Amino acid sequence: MSDTLIAFSAAILGGALRVGVPFLFVSLGECLTEKAGRINLGLEGVLVLSAMAAFGGAYLSGSVWVGVLVAAGAGALLALLHGLLCTLPRVNDVATGIALMLLGTGLAFYLGKPLIQPQAPQLTPIALGGWSDSSVVQAALQINPLLPLGIVLAVVLWLGFARTRWGLLVRLAGDSANATRALGYSVGAIRIAATAAGGAIAGLGGASLTLFYPGSWNEGISSGQGLIAVALVIFARWSPLRCVGAALLFGGAGAIGPALQSIGISQGYYLFSAVPYVLTLVILVLSCRPGSVAQGSPGELSSAR
pLDDT in tens, 88-126: 988 889 999 999 999 999 999 999 999 988 899 999 999
Q: Which amino acid is at 47?
A: L
Each residue of 204-229: pLDDT tens digit?
999 999 999 888 898 888 888 888 88
Per-residue model confidence (pLDDT) at position 300: 82
- Predicted confidence (pLDDT) at residue 200 exceeds the cutoff of 90: yes
**All residues at 6 or more sequence positions from 90 whose CB lies less than 8 Å from its CB, including other chains:** 305
Exposed e or buried b per residue across 34-56, where buried means at least 16 C-beta atoms within 10 angstroms of its C-beta: bbbbbbbbbbbbbbbbbbbbbbb
Using the Cα atoms of residue 154, residue 293, residue 196 and residue 159 in order, give the sign of their dihedral.
negative
Residue 257: band (very low, low, confident or very high) from pLDDT cuts 50, 70, 90: confident
Helix (H), strand (E), coil (C) string for 104-127:
HHHHHHHHCHHHCCCCCCCCCCEE
| Partner residues linked to 142 by β-bridges | 127
Instruction: Indicate yes or no: pTM above 0.75.
Output: yes
Distance between CA 200 and CA 207 in Å, rounded? 11
For residue 284, the model assigns a pLDDT of 74
Using alpha carbons, list the distances in angstroms from residue 66 to 59, 108, 205: 9, 18, 15
CA distance readout (Å), 29 to 49, 132, 184: 15, 35, 26
* Position with higher pLDDT, 228 vs 272: 228
- Residue 167 has a pLDDT of 95
Flag whether pLDDT at 305 surpasses 60. no
- In this prediction, residue 131 has a pLDDT band, given cuts at 50, 70 and 90, of confident
Nearest CA-CA partner of 22 in 146, 196, 154: 146
CB 70 within 8 A of CB 59: no
**143 phi, psi to nearest 5 deg:** -90, 140
pLDDT band at 304 (very low <50, low <70, confident <90, very high): very low
- Report the amino acid identity of residue 86: C
More confident residue, 195 or 260: 195
- Biggest CA–CA distance in the chain, Å, is 66
- Mean pLDDT, the chain, as a whole number? 88
- pLDDT band with cut points at 50, 70 and 90 for residue 1: low
Task: Name the helix (H) or strand (E) containing 101.
Answer: helix 93-111
